[in-house]
């Protein structure tokens, strides 16, 4: 328990609700305000958080006037840059949903604002917090599968009704989010494990068979290929429309001594590990998604105990004043490659440099 009780405000009801529950239960902070542009969503938010009318806002700028220390941004991606910049200008710390922003220019604006305000910015990439990712990180650091020279990640999750409203056929904000734009759940764990960053990207995929009204968000499937600073190759496969059940996150790392991978139906099943000289063939391994040492309430944020551990790290960062591992630069390492790879896909698959946000 720290000396200070951090005052937290939340914007964007969907993701804000899960994080709101975790913040509300944590002894080191209190939820003091919430904001949502929709009156209906705001009413739901208010009920969930048990806040007074005077602590609930539809106008983000008015909400920022509340006495608070930090804002959780859970709004659609195109709103992240403006809301982060305004929060920084108001002297507030930020925990931002993924991905960081919708354009490379917006990524630069966020980095500049954080640098100017000297406040904490943390990127809420929850998949990095799955316990098996941290286990693999330790295993790779110990050299068990040797030097990683190739990795694969896939995220296939049909969310067609979140791209086009089925009742009206009107496009929603995700119609402007290309599959490859949403890359941090996939690249995040791989780069966390290898401690690497992407320097070049290429992409492919422009087909529109499944959801023709879905804009770039409805592209059937996209493939990204990335080259890292350490000289490894990463393949990313992304779709938000391809029929698939269950939806699937997949991760694989190939090293000079062996490989480790999750199940093709997603990380709920057992994974596989092969180490040359240590075993004849690949063995199944457990893939923990939940940290069993945490209380049952730690699952309130969703995705196992990932969000709980993330909130704990964010509050620890506020206590210490030290930059988090998932700071504004790392946020862009996990956001910009997908933006660049989609641009490559639109330009016929040429290799493009991924700018570093130093």
Ligand X SMILES: NC(=O)c1ccc[n+]([C@@H]2O[C@H](COP(=O)([O-])OP(=O)(O)OC[C@H]3O[C@@H](n4cnc5c(N)ncnc54)[C@H](O)[C@@H]3O)[C@@H](O)[C@H]2O)c1
| Chain positions contacting ligand X, by CB under 6 A | 11-15, 35-38, 41, 60, 74-77, 79, 97-98, 126, 173, 303
- What's the min distance (Å) between Cβ of 8 and ligand X? 16
The three-state secondary structure class of 153 is strand
**Nearest residue (CB) to ligand X, 125 versus 261:** 125
Find the DSSP H helices in the chain: 13-25, 39-49, 60-63, 77-89, 104-117, 131-141, 184-194, 306-320, 328-333, 336-346
Instruction: Report helix angle 336-346 to 184-194, nearest 10.
Output: 120
* CB burial of residue 200 (10 Å; 0-12, 13-18, 19+): middle
- What's the min distance (Å) between Cβ of 273 and ligand X? 26
- What's the min distance (Å) between Cβ of 298 and ligand X? 16
DSSP 7-33: EEEEESHHHHHHHHHHHHH-TTEEEEE
* Tokens 């995040």 belong to residue: 188
- What's the min distance (Å) between Cβ of 311 and ligand X? 13
- What's the min distance (Å) between Cβ of 102 and ligand X? 10
Helix (H) or strand (E) holding 159: none
* Tokens 């920022």 belong to residue: 64
**Nearest residue (CB) to ligand X, 2 versus 59:** 59
**Nearest residue (CB) to ligand X, 202 versus 287:** 287
Structure tokens at 239: 């779709």
Structure tokens at 34: 């919430």
**Nearest residue (CB) to ligand X, 56 versus 273:** 56
DSSP 312-356: HHHHHHHHH-PPPTT-HHHHHHTTHHHHHHHHHHHTTS--EE---
**Nearest residue (CB) to ligand X, 35 versus 311:** 35
- What's the min distance (Å) between Cβ of 289 and ligand X? 13
- What's the min distance (Å) between Cβ of 58 and ligand X? 7
Q: How many CA atoms lie within 13 A of 105 on its CB side?
A: 2
**Nearest residue (CB) to ligand X, 97 versus 333:** 97
**Nearest residue (CB) to ligand X, 77 versus 354:** 77
**Nearest residue (CB) to ligand X, 22 versus 145:** 22
* CB burial of residue 127 (10 Å; 0-12, 13-18, 19+): buried
Q: Which residue is nearest to ligand X (CB)?
A: 14
- What's the min distance (Å) between Cβ of 94 and ligand X? 13
**Nearest residue (CB) to ligand X, 22 versus 98:** 98
The answer to whether 23 and 10 are in contact (CB under 8 A) is yes
Structure tokens at 263: 């199940």
Q: Give CA–CA dist 48/42, Å, rounded.
A: 10
Structure tokens at 125: 């990439």
- What's the min distance (Å) between Cβ of 126 and ligand X? 5
């Amino acid at each position: 328990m720290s000396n200070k009780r951090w005052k937290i405000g939340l914007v964007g009801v969907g993701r804000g609700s899960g994080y709101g529950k975790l913040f509300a239960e944590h002894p080191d902070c209190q939820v003091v305000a919430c904001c949502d542009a929709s009156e209906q969503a705001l009413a739901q938010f208010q009920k969930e958080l048990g806040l007074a009318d005077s602590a609930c806002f539809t106008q983000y700028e008015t909400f920022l006037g509340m006495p608070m220390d930090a804002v959780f941004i859970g709004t659609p991606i195109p709103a992240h840059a403006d809301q982060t910049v305004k929060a920084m200008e108001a002297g507030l710390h930020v925990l931002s949903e993924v991905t960081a922003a919708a354009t490379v220019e917006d990524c630069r604006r966020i980095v500049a604002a954080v640098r100017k305000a000297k406040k904490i910015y943390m990127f809420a990439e929850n998949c990095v917090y799955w316990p098996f990712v941290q286990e693999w990180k330790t295993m790779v650091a110990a050299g068990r599968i040797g030097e990683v020279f190739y990795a694969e990640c896939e995220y296939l999750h049909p969310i067609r009704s979140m791209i086009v409203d089925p009742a009206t056929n009107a496009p929603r904000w995700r119609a402007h989010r290309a599959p490859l734009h949403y890359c941090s759940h996939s690249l995040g764990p791989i780069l966390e494990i290898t401690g690497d960053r992407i320097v070049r990207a290429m992409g492919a995929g422009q087909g529109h068979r499944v959801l023709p009204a879905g804009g770039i968000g409805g592209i059937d499937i996209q493939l990204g290929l990335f080259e890292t600073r350490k000289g490894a190759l990463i393949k990313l496969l992304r779709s938000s429309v391809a029929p698939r059940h269950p939806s699937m996150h997949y991760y694989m790392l190939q090293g000079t001594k062996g490989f480790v991978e999750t199940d093709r139906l997603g990380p709920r099943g057992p994974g596989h590990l092969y180490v040359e000289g240590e075993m004849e063939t690949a063995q199944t391994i457990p893939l923990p998604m939940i940290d069993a040492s945490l209380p049952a309430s730690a699952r309130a944020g969703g995705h196992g105990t990932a969000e709980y551990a993330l909130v704990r790290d964010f509050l620890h960062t506020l206590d210490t004043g030290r930059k988090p591992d998932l700071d504004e630069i790392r946020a862009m390492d996990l956001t910009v490659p997908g933006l660049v790879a989609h641009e490559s896909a639109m330009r016929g698959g040429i290799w493009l440099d991924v700018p570093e946000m130093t």
